[in-house]
Structure 1
Amino acid sequence: MIEPNIIKKQQCTLAILLILTVATAITGMAMGYGALSFDRLIPTLIGQGSFKESFILFSVRLPRIVITLLAGMALALSGCILQSITRNDLADPGIIGINSGAGVGIAIYFLFFPINTTSFIYILPLVAFCSALLTVLIIYIFSYKKNEGIQTTRFVLVGVGLSMALSGLMVVIISSTEQIKVEFIAKWLSGNIWGADWPFVLAILPWLVVLIPFTLYKANRLNILRLSEQVAIGVGISVEKERLLMLLASVALAASAVSVTGGISFIGLMAPHIARSLVGPRNQLYTPIALVLGGWMLLFADTIGRNIVQPEGISAGIMVSLIGAPYFIYLLAKK
């Protein structure tokens, strides 16, 4: 049974995070390259703005804000799952190579296959998922030991090594192709929110609509998987089946996010860890907080990054890494 004061703390934390998210979204709507002041937001939202104001808000900034929120939530939830099934707080889809695997698949598809502009947006998450799934299966095979299950430290180390190898492969792939396509891949690698349009929202949204309720439903199983192999087997859970199922969900979430935002790391590391430090280790409590926190963190990083230098700005992936890399070193030293 969860203590009432912990539930109350979770609710207060969620309320504060939602307020922060709304405040950051409003700030993001009014700031940027192009005139749209705070006092014109409400008139523009209700259809009383000029053509320029409506275009800036509804065609440029709002879809980018929604995409960033959804991608941050997906990356945070992916990190929650990975850290539970590996029992390792350093697990993150960017650090262990899932994002790099998705990136290689996207690069190969974009550079060497004919692009259909109608279906490209919706095929991209599927391509990213298949490529990331192949990557994580390789990591799983090399970190699994018979009669002992998955070796959590090895899982992270193999993932880091494979991520570096895939980054090298990406350089080889793009070194012999035309300049225009190379520029797109370079922006993707830096974590630029390139899929900032409403069709990309429709491309990523179904993944989250299915996988967020599914993960919350599996919260208790994730609690048990986080304890130990013996405990999980003792309560009657098919450990490998549940772990593989949740690993699939984690890969799908990360791949759907990075297919429209590019290579963004550390959100899946920081959001779950911060959420656990606030309300404890139960997935039922910290997963909703990590969801909102991940969305807000990526939105905040993108809002700051695109307004530091006009008009191009600094990519959200770089802004997140500036915070996430020191945080990763701190966790590494602590663990």
Structure 2
Amino acid sequence: MKLTQAHTDAGDVLEALNQISKGRMVMDWNEVTSGTNPYVVMKNSNIPGKSVIEIPGLVFGDKRKPVSRIGVGMTLTESVIELASAMKLDLIIVHHPVADAASSGGVPFADYLPLYDLALIEMHEAFHGLHPGLTLLHGHRKLKTDIAFGGIPGNILHKGIALEEVRTAGDILNRIDSFMGREIDRDILEAERAIRGEASLQEATLANPARLLSGTPGSTVKHVLHFFPHTGFTLEHLEKALAMYPETDTIIASISRVREDHEFVGLARRRGLNFIVGNPHSVEIMENGLPLAYALEMLLPQVDIFLLRERITAVPLKEVGHVQMVEYGKEMAATHLVAKSSRAVQML
């Protein structure tokens, strides 16, 4: 069903997202306090004051707020908020959970978002498992999905079978490279290096390519286990999954990554299995954000949808190319941050 009324408000957007998520969104705040919505989840590393409750719903703003321009992003940051302001967006939808200050430049939402008349919706666990895109991009068709493997919400495990055109580990790597448009990103990075005069400039997507950590490019691929290490997936989980699916020949870890010496890779090597690290978290805006944005456009054709994609770069301090800002940074550091204050000198 398309929601095609003449005027759209934040409540209509929430209804559309509830349709997309098969009823997982928080439609009434009582769902948060009552514990009746299983997608309202506490994330906690036991660091005092740093836990966050995921609330898949309208986190900030009024359901009656008129909406004609929506931004879809992955993670709320001050850069996203400022871009939304410049573009005169009415509503931001982000995948990842948000938190006062952490997601809004160190200040509360109530002090920041009203400046730009922005409403805010988050989804995260409510969006997981709704489409097979991540698995298809990585060369397999998912047969089974557990979004709480080992009883941990968000600890996703896909059991898949290789696509007909995917026969080797090398086919998966080539497929990822082609789908994600890495050649375009390489051209952009080279141009930026030349323009800025920063030869060692790095960009998050290109710095984390798909890699084969166990097996060879010609190794056969058919039965795939696909998981995401940052969700709490442990070695015990992997051993349990391999016991459940002993036919597995290929393991894929994506969104988050592991290195060559990780215990996951060691286990794969001991068992003669392929181990591939696939797409990094920096391209999830394309993997998950793009399907969500198109789904919203289909349901709300009268609303303009924008994809909010952050691009993160790093450069050695000695190579920062903007001379005027280099001089500014050095002066602030030397004069105000490193030099002893006159009061400190007097005390000595």
TM-score by shorter chain over 0.5: no
Largest Rg, 1 or 2: 2
Structure holding more helix per residue:
1
Structure with higher strand content: 2
Provide the TM-score with structure 1 as the length reference.
0.24
